[in-house]
């Protein structure tokens, strides 16, 4: 209240006799009005009795000489009029004082609500500046909105995709965290679909809100506002009242203003999470790049050193034929090893960019026959159990690459014999298994051995850790998957599941 308003109140208070109050209370003014009307009743009663006495005095011989004078009657009338004017003046001032005090109370209540709103907005501001964790920001937003509207329960629901809302923060409600509502259904879905705030008094209209979510006890007063940032709707903010709290249009406006700041907080928290994830990915990529360079440098240097050493020995010395053959074999083996490393790097690059696979119906037995023949040519002991008549929807070259990498992984990691098995199952998938008798896969390595540049803890043989990564990538790009398990008796069992095909291949590979 301004200084001028306080001076006006003080003047009105002095006029009606409230001299002890600089700013009188509404109760004191009402008490003074009762006092004034009590005096009015007493005085008017006395005057009425006097007027009656004058009228009756006209019949009495004692009063005939006194009360028949017109001046006496006129004096009573004037006294009555003067008192009536005095009472009217005081009543006018008391009414004016009452209106001013009531206006003051209304303004004080409005100011109090405004201060609560500003405090809640300040809390959201602090959340933006000091807390960027999304969960913490949502908790501050919901608790501040409940405090602002004195609500009994509420929730923050965020949009996931384009058609579904999920309750990510809930307080004081049986509406469980994680509950989902489709856009257009229920109160929250309606608000998102129409982008307008809603004030609900009484039970919600089931004809207006499709598939309304049940609450126990039922919610009879609620405010639901959209969370919009830069014209993008993020979700809704719900605040529910109880039997003692019925929301008004003022509450709706206050929560709508609050939601504008809350939406900015949520958008900033989400952006922070995205940036934090991006930074973590960049750090990981930098680590992988450094590890890749170190690994490639080491792996390429080893075969090149062997090749160059063998060539220099052959050039400088006259060796026996058997020694020449031995050195040439070393050159050939290291050359194949170098070629395999380069092919793995190129395969990783192609699959990381955009794998180009052409899936068709492939005869599994025929595709594996080429792989097994190549393995036998280099002296590897591979036992096969591949029945005829099994077909998969796959890319022929990718399928061969998967099996080559799995077999190569088994031999490189210490197995002297590998088994290949193929069988169909009841889930319309064909399972291709590579079984070895190597050191096996430790429990902690089962998930990460399929990552790029990852090698098991028990692996001491050379390699860049790309083979199994390519196996998983190629399998998933063909609609399949790959899993690893311990083999009974020792070793590892790799299982590749690919979609089965009931059609015969159009062309038979030769």
Going residue by residue through the chain, which has 510 residues, state the pLDDT in tens, using 9 for 90 and above: 554 555 555 555 554 455 444 556 767 777 777 877 887 788 777 777 766 766 665 555 544 444 455 666 677 677 778 877 877 877 777 787 788 778 777 778 878 877 777 777 677 667 666 778 888 889 888 888 888 888 888 899 999 888 899 999 998 875 567 788 888 888 888 899 889 999 888 777 766 777 666 666 677 788 999 999 998 999 999 998 877 788 888 888 888 988 888 898 899 888 988 999 999 989 988 887 777 777 677 667 767 887 888 888 888 777 888 888 888 888 887 787 788 778 767 766 665 544 567 888 998 988 888 888 877 777 788 888 888 888 999 988 888 888 888 888 888 777 788 999 998 866 688 999 999 887 777 766 777 787 766 655 555 455 566 778 888 888 888 889 998 888 887 888 899 999 988 665 555 443
Which stretch of DSSP H or E encloses residue 503?
none
Helices (H), 354-423: 364-377, 396-412
Contacts of 174 (CB under 8 A, 6+ apart): 215, 216
Q: Residue 404's closest CA among 366, 372, 431, 426?
A: 372
| Contact predicate 173/155, CB 8 Å | yes
Integer CA distances (angstroms), 22 to 8, 60, 107, 323, 334, in order = 10, 55, 19, 119, 103
The pTM of this model reads 0.50
pLDDT value, residue 21: 47
Sheet containing 418-424: give its strands across.
382-385, 418-424, 429-436, 492-499, 481-486
pLDDT value, residue 48: 73
Helices and strands, number each (H, E), in the chain: 11, 13
Angle between helix 467-477 and helix 396-412 axes, rounded to 10 deg: 150
pLDDT value, residue 11: 56
Q: How far apart are the first and last CA of the chain?
A: 98
pLDDT value, residue 503: 64
pLDDT value, residue 439: 79
pLDDT value, residue 455: 58
Integer CA distances (angstroms), 144 to 28, 147, 158, 239, in order = 37, 5, 18, 11
Residue 281's CB is within 10 A of a number of other CB atoms, namely 10
**d(Cα 466, Cα 409) in Å, to the nearest integer?**
10
Question: Where do the domains of the chain lie, and which CATH numbers do they carry?
Answer: 3-125 (no CATH), 131-274 (3.30.450.40), 355-499 (3.30.565.10)
């Amino acid at each position: 209240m301004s200084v001028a308003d306080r001076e006006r109140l003080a003047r009105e208070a002095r006029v009606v006799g409230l001299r002890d109050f600089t700013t009188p209370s509404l109760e004191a003014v009402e008490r003074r009005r009762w006092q004034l009307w009590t005096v009015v009743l007493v005085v008017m009663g006395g005057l009425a009795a006097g007027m009656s006495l004058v009228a009756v005095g006209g019949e009495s011989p004692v009063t005939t000489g006194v009360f028949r004078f017109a001046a006496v009657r006129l004096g009573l009338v004037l006294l009555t009029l003067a008192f009536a004017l005095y009472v009217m003046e005081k009543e006018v001032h008391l009414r004016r004082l009452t209106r001013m005090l009531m206006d003051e109370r209304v303004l004080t209540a409005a100011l109090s609500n405004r201060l609560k709103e500003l405090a809640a907005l300040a809390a959201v501001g602090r959340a933006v500046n000091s807390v960027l964790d999304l969960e913490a920001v949502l908790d501050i937003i919901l608790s501040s909105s409940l405090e602002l509207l004195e609500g009994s329960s509420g929730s923050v629901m965020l949009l996931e995709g384009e058609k579904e809302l999920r309750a990510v923060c809930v307080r004081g409600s049986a509406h469980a965290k994680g509950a989902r509502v489709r856009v257009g259904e229920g109160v929250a879905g309606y608000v998102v679909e129409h982008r307008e705030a809603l004030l609900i008094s009484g039970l919600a209209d089931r004809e207006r809100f499709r598939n309304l979510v049940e609450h126990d006890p039922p919610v009879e007063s609620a405010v639901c506002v959209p969370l919009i940032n830069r014209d993008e709707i993020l979700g809704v903010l719900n605040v529910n009242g109880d039997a003692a709290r019925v929301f008004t249009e003022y509450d709706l406006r206050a929560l709508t203003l609050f939601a504008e700041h809350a939406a900015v907080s949520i958008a900033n928290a989400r952006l922070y999470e995205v940036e934090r994830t991006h930074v973590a990915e960049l750090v990981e990529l930098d680590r992988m790049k450094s590890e890749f360079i170190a690994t490639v440098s080491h792996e390429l240097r080893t075969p090149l050193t062997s090749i160059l050493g063998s060539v220099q020995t052959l050039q400088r010395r006259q060796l026996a034929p058997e020694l020449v053959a031995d050195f040439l074999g070393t050159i050939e083996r290291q050359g194949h090893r170098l070629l395999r490393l380069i092919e793995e790097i190129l395969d990783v690059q192609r699959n990381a960019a955009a794998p180009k696979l052409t899936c068709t119906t492939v005869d599994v037995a025929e595709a594996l026959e080429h792989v097994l023949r190549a393995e036998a040519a280099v002296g590897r002991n591979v036992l096969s159990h591949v029945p005829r008549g099994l077909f998969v929807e796959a890319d022929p070259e990718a399928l061969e690459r998967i099996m080559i990498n799995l077999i190569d992984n088994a031999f490189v990691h210490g197995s002297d014999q590998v088994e290949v098995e193929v069988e169909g199952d009841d889930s319309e998938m064909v399972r291709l298994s590579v079984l070895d008798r190597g050191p096996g896969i430790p429990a902690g390595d089962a998930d990460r051995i399929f990552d790029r540049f990852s090698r098991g803890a028990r692996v001491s043989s050379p390699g860049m850790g790309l083979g199994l990564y390519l196996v998983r990538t190629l399998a998933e790009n063909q609609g399949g998957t790959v899993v690893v398990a311990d083999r009974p008796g020792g070793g590892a069992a790799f299982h590749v599941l690919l979609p089965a095909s009931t059609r015969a291949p159009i062309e038979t590979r030769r």
